[in-house]
A and B are shown apart, each in its own frame.
Chain A
Amino acid sequence: NAGVTQTPKFRILKIGQSMTLQCTQDMNHNYMYWYRQDPGMGLKLIYYSVGAGITDKGEVPNGYNVSRSTTEDFPLRLELAAPSQTSVYFCASSSVGTGGDEQYFGPGTRLTVT
C-alpha cells in the first residue's frame, strides 16, 4: 500500500492564480481531511469528508473548495490564491471502527503564493 499520496510536493503560485492539490489514499478509508500548517502553528482543519459525495467545512475553509467523487480521491481547490494561503498542506485519511481511528497523513504540499 502506498498509503496517502499528495501531489505536487512543492508549488509557487502568483497572487490570483488557481490550482488543485491532489490527494489519494489506497487504504479504502471512508474519512478524509485537509489541513494547513503554518510555521510554529498546529494543524488547522480546512475541509473533511465522511464518504464519497459528502464534504463539510472545517475550521478555516475560506478560499478553498473540495470534492469527493470517489472513496480514494479528495482534491483541494484554491481559487484566487492569496499570500495568506502560503502554507504546508496535509491530506489525511482514517477508517472509522478501528479503535482509535488514527489519521494517516500524506507527505504534504508546500505552497508559496507571491
Chain B
Amino acid sequence: GQNIDQPTEMTATEGAIVQINCTYQTSGFNGLFWYQQHAGEAPTFLSYNVLDGLEEKGRFSSFLSRSKGYSYLLLKELQMKDSASYLCAVKGTTASKLTFGTGTRLQVTL
C-alpha cells in the first residue's frame, strides 16, 4: 500500500518563499505529482518528478529523493492567488494510478 504525509496547513506572506514537504512509503513507485486545488475547484497539474533532483517551472519547483521517500514543492514570490491546497500524489506501477496525500492548505497573507 501507500502512505503519504504532508502538513495540513501553512501560512506565508506575499512575496515570500514557502516549501511544502511530502513524505511517502510505497509498495511501488513510478513518479510523484504535485497538484494545486483552489477551494471548490478541481485539482490542476503542477509538476512531476520521476528521477531524483529538482524540476523548475517558473515560480514553482519540485524536488524528489527516492531513497529518502521525500519530495517538496517550492513556491517563490508568493502571490495571493497561490492560496490553495497543494496535493502530493504518488504514481503506482499499475494503470498510472495515483495515491493522494490529504493536501496542504496554504494561506498567503499580506
Contacts and interface: CB of A to CB of B under 8 A. Distances in A.
A107 B89 CA distance: 19
B42 A108 contact: yes
Given A43-B43, A90-B42, A102 B102 contact: no
A45 interface: yes
Interface residues of A, number: 27
Given A90-B43, A105-B44, A58 B103 contact: no
Interface of A: 31, 33, 35, 40-45, 48, 50, 56, 58-59, 90, 94, 96, 99-108
Contacts of B4: 42
A42 B34 CA distance: 13
A102 B48 contact: yes
Contacts of A90: 42-43
B108 to A, nearest CB: 20
Given A42-B87, A50-B95, A108-B42, A100 B100 contact: no
B96 A31 contact: yes
Interface of B: 4, 8, 31, 33, 41-45, 48, 50, 87, 89, 91, 95-103
Contacts of B95: 31, 48, 50, 56
Nearest to A42: B100
A91 to B, nearest CB: 9
A107 B41 CA distance: 6
A81 B27 CA distance: 33
Nearest to A56: B95
B23 to A, nearest CB: 14
A96 B96 contact: yes
B48 A100 contact: yes
B15 to A, nearest CB: 28
Given A45-B99, A96-B96, A99-B48, 13 more contacts: A31-B95, A31-B96, A33-B98, A35-B100, A42-B4, A44-B100, A45-B97, A48-B95, A59-B99, A100-B33, A100-B45, A100-B48, A100-B50
